[in-house]
Every structure is written in structure tokens, then in C-alpha cells.
A and B are shown apart, each in its own frame.
Chain A
Amino acid sequence: MITPKQFTFVFLGFMGIILIISMALYLLDIPYTSNDVIRQYQMQKIQASAPVNIIIVGDSSAGLGIDAGEFSKIIGQPTLNLALTGSFGIAGSYNVMRHAVAKHPVKTVIFMHTLTTWKTPFSTQGFLESLDKLPIGDMQNAYKRKNAYADILQAALNPQEILWYIQHLRGSSAPLPVIGDDYFVQHDDQFSNGKKTDPGIFIAPRVERSNRAALTVIGTYCTSHAIQCLIVHGPILSLVYDRSRPAIKRIEERIQQVTGVVFVPFVSSVPIEYMGDTVEHVAPAYKKEMTRRYAETLKPYIKN
């Protein structure tokens, strides 16, 4: 038998320890998820690389689809590919842009996200994780949260950090992806294992309100910083593209309504034999050719 006072203090002590460890892990920013790995990699790239005029931000469709060196050669301007993953969403790309602008003389930013991004709700966690001391800015209005600081606190006190860390230490979580050729190395499965099948998916004809709002914030930022911001879709399996044309048209109409960004009406529809491990990832062997397609399409838009 224990007294109610002992009950209370043991409980509070236990929970307190959990929260202190959670916050410590959050602040230490130890990379134990693939999102941590790519975010830290791209942030280091921003800090370490020579000055660039062009940056490519977006998700894995951009990371695996664009070879920055090849792109620089064709365009004639130094370019960095700073793509994160789809988990960070458009707001994550916005933060990467802000980090890069603070360090480099950026003139052009290319936002390349896969088509399914637009229907995916705003990723608060992705936004906050990529913030890294940047001001929250107007983006909190984009996700209709007036208490962005409370969200940060919530993220910092998340006890799941402990679970993820223990899983990572024990090796029971998925192995962390390896960086190679300027981005993650693709998994050798699905399309790239020789058993290519059409997954039969469609693109949803929807642009989440929060994504449109986020895009508006990006447009305002680009205008106020005199930066040219181009929006272009990432590559997609041709079968998915063919059956989703009306939906894609609808998405593009919505994007074009946003001012401050320039929409580039181009979808790289890729035959199944050139696809990588998902319908949005081109196979590694096809990366340079894909880069050339994008560079030639974007060249007329990019200001010198």
C-alpha cells in the first residue's frame, strides 16, 4: 500500500523523466529517421557549398529526378538540388528556400513536387522540423493554426522521440537510407526489381486549401525578395498520367490562380521501364536524361 502523496510524486517523477528525455532528444536532433537524415544532409549542403543562383526544392521526385551538376551545365548557372521528402510538404520546401536564400545569392527557386502532394494536408511536423531557428512567418496562417508556438512545444515534448530512438538503437526500425548521388539511394524493389506492374492509381483532382495558402505565402515571399519562383510537377509514371489528365488539369488551374509564382505547364510522363521504386521516382540510370528534359523545359523561364 502506498499513500496518495507517494502515488502522486512517483507518477509525476516518472512522467517528468520521460518528458525531459523527449525534449533532450528533440534538441539534440539525432538523425534516426530518414527525414532527419535528408534534412540534415541538405542543410549541410547549403552551408558548405559554393554560392549558387538556382536551387531546386521539393520532394523525392525532385531528389531522384534531377542531377544538379547536369542541370548547372545545361542552364549555365550553379544549381543546388535541396529536395527533402514528401513528408515535409510544400511548407518544408518553403523553409529550405529561406535557409538557402540566407546563405546564397539565389535568383531562381524551382519547386518540384509530385502530383499527389497537392491533395496531402499541410504537414505541421514537416514544417516545424525544417524550421531550425527560422521565424515562423506567415506560414502559420496557411495551416489555420494561430498557435504555432504551441505546435513547436508539442513537437518538442513528443515522447515518441524516445520510442523511435530506442528502436533506432536496437536496429528494429527500418534501416536509415544511404545518401548517394546527391540524394537517397533508391530501394531495389517494386519497379526497379524487374517486376514492373501498374499499381492502377489515380491522381486526386484536389488541391488542399492549406497547400494553396502555403503557395500564396511562398508567392509573397518570392515577390518581396525579388526571387523568381517556378512551380513544376515531378516526373510520374505515364500510365498514371494518362488516366489522371482531367485531375491534373484541375490541379494546374488551381495552382495558376496563385500570384508571385510562375507555373511551368510540364509533366514528365515516364514509361514504366524507366521508373524506379515508385511511380514518382525515375530509375537511377535515367536520372541524367530526366534532368536534361527538365532543364530544357525550364531554361526559357529562368532569368539570367
Chain B
Amino acid sequence: MLFNSYLYLILFLPLTYAVYFYLNAKAWHRLALGTLTLASLGFYAFWNINHLPILLGSIVGNYLLGSYLAKGTTTPRKRKISLMFGIAANIGLLAYFKYADFLIENLNQFSHTHLETLNLALPLAISFFTFLQIAYLVDVYKKPGERYSLEAYALFVTFFPHLIAGPIVHHKDLIPQFSDLEKRQVAYQNIALGLFLIGIGLFKKVIIADTFAITADSGFGTRTPLLLLEAWVTSLSYTFELYFDFSGYSDIAIGSALLFNITLPNNFDSPYKAKNIQDFWRRWHITLSNFLRDYLYIPLGGNRVGPVREIANVILVFLLGGLWHGAGWTFIIWGILHGSAMALYRLWQKANISMPTMLAWFITFQFVNIAWIFFRARDMERAIRMLKGMGGMNGIALPRFLEPYVLFFEPQITFGNVFAHIKLHDILVPLLWLPIALAVVLYMKNSNELASKFKPNTASLAATIILFVVSLYSMNTVSEFIYFNF
């Protein structure tokens, strides 16, 4: 089920809420949690019921193994083997569905074999629920003794606000909230704030992201090489689309959870304000960054190893982060680009060289913008074509009024018809939105900042109603969130 659908907002969410708090009011707490788990499974199955057994199997398997590890009674060797088995099984499941065809295609290409691809449909949210559960296994391996009931564990994995696309939650942060008796009572302050956040998220997705998606889809979808301005408008449109889409999703997730008095971690903190790449990754998809840091980078040695290993670790972590997003060379390149930038930034820091703040912001923003091309393009050929367009190598068309001012002769410069390869109605509105979006991401308070100062008053009520009504009026064609693909 999509957050940005009438069905979720008008039926699923209110109904689940009403049943959950009714059961809690009757002091049937276990039944209430069970109902919330069932509702979450229904939320998941609504998309594709065939994938439900995979999710359930993964939950039961990890729970059993986790309980075994939590006992801490067996030998360290057996426990280590069990953990390795658990991690391998989780990654194996993910690899089978997500990476098998990528491996087969590359094997066929490089060793001239003719193996059939599996053409498997990727189970929704598999990347997310796999990561949650690997973290759980590692934690109970490191600190045995912590055991949860199957109901609590199942709800931790499936709780619908975070199930599909995060934020990636930690079991220690979430499960205790389910058993907190205070959180089982209707809290109007949380409802008001939750509705406010849902309103912001919907607006970001439906009004802003989906508007930029028109240009991004048009530009990335065309087979024709784009001219300079077309390519830049396309890439910037995608940069904003992705941010408003994913942060909008996170706002709705956090707001929805808050209705149930559950606090989810923040996932974004104005990432496009970042003045270096490290700063960017502290602001973008924060819960993924934390996961990669805690469960990959630090176990690899982090910065406690020599400088060469440290840089290799950084690049490896980002490469795997890229692969986590998708099975394709474009994602690998995207990961390597970010890893290399991070490595370069660390060297730069060690050299203690300073840079004007505006220049640092500009370089960071443009690097992120250019790297997103690999994230979005369907294949390397299209990514390169887009980069060439941005470099003016596919030709430059400038508005006719600039003709008298171009003093040097450039054979690839033409005048007029600046957007020859993107339909005019696909570009006009997003083009107007670009400076607005830039101003919003740079100068406006983000959702967390607004939430921290939220007070239920007439202004915030009016704002929430307006955000909802405007979004509902624009939700005629429902579009998926980008991170549903990962």
C-alpha cells in the first residue's frame, strides 16, 4: 500500500488506529500488538501477497536464530558459526532475489556463457528488512541475554510505517516502545504532530517530487542526446525529486508512527545544505549511514587501521552501499564515486586546507547532483550520455536573446529551441520550481526543525489542513516512492 493513496490515508490508517487504541483501552495489550502486526502484514501483502511468505519466513528464521544466540549458552565457536550462517542466509536471500540476474548477465557477457536469467520479482522492502535483522543478529551475538517475544520481534520488523522504505530502525529503539504502557494511550499531542508531519510529507511527495519527476523522467527517458541546458535541468530535477520524494516518505513514516506514540529516528537533516561530503552523509539517509558505519565500517577496522586500509574501507563501504540500492553497474559507480569523494575529503581534512564556505557548498552540491545521474540512469550508456550533455558535448542551444552577447564562435552553439528534446509542457512547471526548491532546501527549516517547535495552534492547524487538502487534490494519479525499488 502506498502512503500517498486515499486507501492508506482514509481507510487503513484511521481504521488501524481505532482498533489498536480500542483494544488498548480495554487493556487487551497483546491483542492490540497482534492486530498492529496483522495490519502491517496486510499493508505489505496489499502490494504483492506472493511475497508475504518470504517476509514471514525471514522473520521466523531470524527470530529462532536470534533467540539461540541470545541464550549465550553454547561455545563461542558455535555461536560464531551460527551468526555467520545467519548473516549468510540473510544476504543469500537478498542476493538471490536482487543480484542473481545481475551476476548471470555479467557472467554471460564476460565468459560468453548463455545462462538463463531468473527474472524474479524483487520482494518489496527486502533490502530493508534484511538489514534490520542482520543488525539484530549481530547485537544478540555481541550481547547475549536480550530476548524478545515473537510478537514483539515480528512487530519490530513489520511495523508498517518503516517496513517498506525505512527509516532503518534498531530493535533496541523500537521494541521497548511497544511494551511501554504509557505509549498505549491516545496522546493528542502526538496525533497533532503526526498529522502535521504527514501533511508535510504528502506535500513534498505529491506536489514537489512528482512535479520534478515529470522533467526527470522525460529527460532520462529520451534516447536522444540532450543539449546542455536540457541535461542540467534534467539532472537538477532528479536531484530535487529524489530528496523531496524520500524525505517526504520519511516524514509520512515518522508522522504515521507518531500517531501510535512510536518515535522513529530522523532520516534527513537538510542534506543539500552540506558543505562537504562527510557532512552530506550525516544528513542524507541518516539511518542507512549509521547502519553502514556500525555494522560494516567499524567491524572492518574503521579509522583504527592504517591510512591506506582506512581509505580502502571507506570506498568498500560506499561500494556496498551502492550495491544495496540496486544491482547494476550504475549503482556500483555511484557508490565508488561517493566512497572516493569521502576518501578524498579525509585526506583534505588531514592536509588542513580551508575553502570558502560557498565554494565548499557548491562543490558538494554539484558532486552529489552529478553522482545522482548514475543513481537514476537505467544503464551506463545513458548516464554517460547525460554527462556529455551536461558538459555541452551534445551541443549547446541558448535562448535567442543571448545571440548578440556571444562573442566567440562556437560551432556547437545554436540559438532558440533550448528544450528541443523534452516536451515543453514537461519542462515549464518544473523549471519554475527549480529556484523555489533550491531556496526551500537551503533556507527553510526542515521537517525535524519544524516538528521540534510544533505547537498546536490555529496557524499549525490551518497549515496542516492546507497541506492535506492540496495534496489530496493532486493525488489523482498515484505514483510510487523511489525507494520502493530498493
Q: Give A residues with C-beta under 8 Å from B.
A: 1-8, 10-11, 14-15, 18-19, 146-147, 150, 153-154, 157-160, 163
> Any chain A CB within 8 A of the CB of B366?
no
Count of chain B residues with Cβ under 8 Å from any Cβ of A?
Answer: 26
> Any chain A CB within 8 A of the CB of B108?
no
- Asked if residues A2 and B6 are in contact (CB atoms below 8 Å), the reply is no
Q: How far is the CA of A153 from the CA of B195 in the complex (A)?
A: 22
> Any chain A CB within 8 A of the CB of B482?
no
Most buried by A among B10, B195, B469: B10
- Chain A nearest CB from B196 CB (Å) reads 9
A14 contacts across to B, CB distance below 8 A? 465
Instruction: Say which one of B185-193, B317-325, B375-383 lies at the interface with A.
Output: B185-193
A8 contacts across to B, CB distance below 8 A? 188, 191-192, 195
Q: A2-B457, A3-B456, A146-B49 are in contact. Are A11 and B476 (CB under 8 A)?
A: no
Q: A7-B192, A18-B469, A159-B469 are in contact. Are A2 and B461 (CB under 8 A)?
A: yes
Q: A8-B188, A153-B6 are in contact. Are A2 and B465 (CB under 8 A)?
A: no
Instruction: Report the nearest A residue to B455, measured CB to CB.
Output: A1
B6 contacts across to A, CB distance below 8 A? 153-154, 157-158
- Asked if residues A154 and B5 are in contact (CB atoms below 8 Å), the reply is yes
B465 contacts across to A, CB distance below 8 A? 11, 14-15
Q: Mark B189-211, 1 if CB is under 8 A from A, else 0.
A: 10110010000000000000000
- Chain B nearest CB from A88 CB (Å) reads 16
Instruction: Report the nearest A residue to B5, measured CB to CB.
Output: A154
Q: How far is the CA of A213 from the CA of B468 in the complex (A)?
A: 36
Q: A147-B46, A153-B11 are in contact. Are A4 and B189 (CB under 8 A)?
A: yes
- Asked if residues B456 and A158 are in contact (CB atoms below 8 Å), the reply is no
- Asked if residues A4 and B456 are in contact (CB atoms below 8 Å), the reply is yes
Residues of chain B from 447 to 486 with CB closer than 8 A to chain A in the complex: 455-458, 460-461, 464-465, 468-469, 472-473, 476
Residue in contact with A15 in the complex, picked from B5, B49, B468, B473, CB distance below 8 Å: B468
- Chain A nearest CB from B124 CB (Å) reads 14
- Chain B nearest CB from A175 CB (Å) reads 22
Most buried by A among B11, B46, B189, B192: B192
> Any chain A CB within 8 A of the CB of B7?
yes
B195 contacts across to A, CB distance below 8 A? 7-8, 11
Instruction: Report the nearest A residue to B477, measured CB to CB.
Output: A125
- Pairs across A and B, CB under 8 Å, 12 listed: A1-B457, A4-B191, A7-B192, A7-B461, A11-B195, A11-B464, A11-B465, A11-B468, A15-B465, A153-B7, A154-B6, A154-B7
Q: How far is the CA of A166 from the CA of B421 in the complex (A)?
A: 37
Closest 3 pairs (CB-CB, A-B): A4-B188, A7-B456, A7-B192
- Chain B nearest CB from A162 CB (Å) reads 8
- Asked if residues B10 and A2 are in contact (CB atoms below 8 Å), the reply is no
A15 contacts across to B, CB distance below 8 A? 465, 468
Most buried by B among A1, A15, A153, A163: A15
Residues of chain B from 150 to 193 with CB closer than 8 A to chain A in the complex: 187-189, 191-192
- Chain A nearest CB from B273 CB (Å) reads 30
B49 contacts across to A, CB distance below 8 A? 146
Q: How far is the CA of A2 from the CA of B456 in the complex (A)?
A: 6
Instruction: Report the nearest B residue to A10, measured CB to CB.
Output: B461
Q: How far is the CA of A4 from the CA of B195 in the complex (A)?
A: 11
Q: How far is the CA of A176 from the CA of B289 in the complex (A)?
A: 55
Q: Mark B374-408, 1 if CB is under 8 A from A, else 0.
A: 00000000000000000000000000000000000
Residues of chain B from 4 to 58 with CB closer than 8 A to chain A in the complex: 5-7, 10-11, 46, 49
- Asked if residues A158 and B476 are in contact (CB atoms below 8 Å), the reply is yes
Instruction: Report the nearest B residue to A6, measured CB to CB.
Output: B456
Residues of chain B from 193 to 232 with CB closer than 8 A to chain A in the complex: 195
- Asked if residues B7 and A4 are in contact (CB atoms below 8 Å), the reply is no
Q: A4-B188, A8-B191, A146-B49 are in contact. Are A159 and B464 (CB under 8 A)?
A: no
- Asked if residues B461 and A5 are in contact (CB atoms below 8 Å), the reply is no
Q: How far is the CA of A7 from the CA of B464 in the complex (A)?
A: 10
Q: How far is the CA of A150 from the CA of B189 in the complex (A)?
A: 31
- Asked if residues A159 and B189 are in contact (CB atoms below 8 Å), the reply is no
Instruction: Report the nearest A residue to B471, measured CB to CB.
Output: A159
Q: How far is the CA of A6 from the CA of B192 in the complex (A)?
A: 9
- Chain A nearest CB from B211 CB (Å) reads 17
Q: Mark B85-98, 1 if CB is under 8 A from A, else 0.
A: 00000000000000
- Chain B nearest CB from A116 CB (Å) reads 16
B11 contacts across to A, CB distance below 8 A? 153
Instruction: Report the nearest B residue to A146, measured CB to CB.
Output: B49
A11 contacts across to B, CB distance below 8 A? 192, 195, 461, 464-465, 468
Q: How far is the CA of A15 from the CA of B471 in the complex (A)?
A: 12
Q: Mark B279-292, 1 if CB is under 8 A from A, else 0.
A: 00000000000000
- Asked if residues B468 and A2 are in contact (CB atoms below 8 Å), the reply is no
B191 contacts across to A, CB distance below 8 A? 4, 7-8
Q: How far is the CA of A153 from the CA of B46 in the complex (A)?
A: 15
Q: How far is the CA of A15 from the CA of B10 in the complex (A)?
A: 9
